Amino acid sequence: MTWLDVIGWTGSALLVWSLLQSRLLRLRALNLVGCLVLIGFNLALEVWPMVGLNAVLAVINVWYLARMMMSRHDERAYRVAEVRSGDEVLTHVLQQHHDDIRSFNPGFRVEGGEDRCAFLVLNGDEIVGVVLFRVAGDRAQVELDYVTQRYRDFTPGEFVYRRSDLFTKRGCRTVVSPPGMLAPYYDRLGFRRDGESYVLDLG
């Protein structure tokens, strides 16, 4: 096997691997790298139709990646909708993603949530996140902050915390993240670390 064969197989493997990704950003990024590798491979062999195909695919990937990055923190791309804690759609989402939710929020329990405040984060007509919290005095204790796999690189839950009125109108002055949550992102949103949780002061 020559070094050129290795390059060709590497590019093909990257394309196949990209299609196995559930996260949209990762899928596009890996697909782009695979296309670029195959452009070089096919240029070396002078297989022009494949050069053209991979060049077009690379441009498409760049366009989608640019759109994703520009809308990543854009409030116009996401909507936060409050629902009842017993809402059937919310219950369906929690059941549908039960195992994935438990893998990031091992302490979360679906039961006993009658007095929870519940929010769905939407992108277009797709539910991409769920935030559940309970009010105790002037503190909002977040019990679940979940993002679906496709949107996990975008942390859409941040749009709930940007809207401080969701908490202040309930008399809350601080927001506390779920204790022991795996792969937290709160330090990027102005939260401070406090033991196993993160705390946001609403001022």
Pick the range with the lowest mean pLDDT from 9-18, 97-106, 108-117, 133-142.
Answer: 108-117
For the chain, what is the total number of helices (H) and then of strands (E)?
A: 7, 7
Q: Which residues, listed in sequence order, are joined to residue 117 by a DSSP beta bridge?
A: 133
Q: What's the pLDDT at 85?
A: 87
Whether 71 has a pLDDT exceeding 80, the answer reads no
Residue 38 and residue 7: Cα distance in Å, rounded? 8
Q: What is the pLDDT of residues 144-203, one digit of tens each?
A: 999 998 888 887 878 888 877 889 999 999 999 998 888 788 888 889 999 889 999 987
Opening angle at CA 199, ends 133 and 119, nearest 5: 25
Per-residue pLDDT band for 69 (boundaries 50, 70, 90) equals confident
Whether 128 has a pLDDT exceeding 80, the answer reads yes
Residue 28 and residue 60: Cα distance in Å, rounded? 9
Residue 12 and residue 17: Cα distance in Å, rounded? 9
Question: What secondary structure does DSSP assign to 111-145, as a single string?
Answer: SS-TT-EEEEEEETTEEEEEEEEEEETTEEEEEEE
Q: What's the pLDDT at 121?
A: 93
Give the number of other Cβ atoms within 10 Å of residue 19's Cβ. 11
Give the number of other Cβ atoms within 10 Å of residue 24's Cβ. 17
Give pTM, 2 decimals. Answer: 0.80
Q: What's the pLDDT at 107?
A: 80
Task: Give the mean pLDDT of the chain.
Answer: 90
Q: What is the pLDDT of residues 84-96, one digit of tens each?
A: 988 999 999 999 9
Q: In what order do the strands lie in the sheet with 79-83?
A: 79-83, 117-123, 126-136, 139-147, 174-176, 197-201, 192-194
Whether 1 has a pLDDT exceeding 80, the answer reads no
Whether 7 has a pLDDT exceeding 80, the answer reads yes
Residue 190 and residue 193: Cα distance in Å, rounded? 10
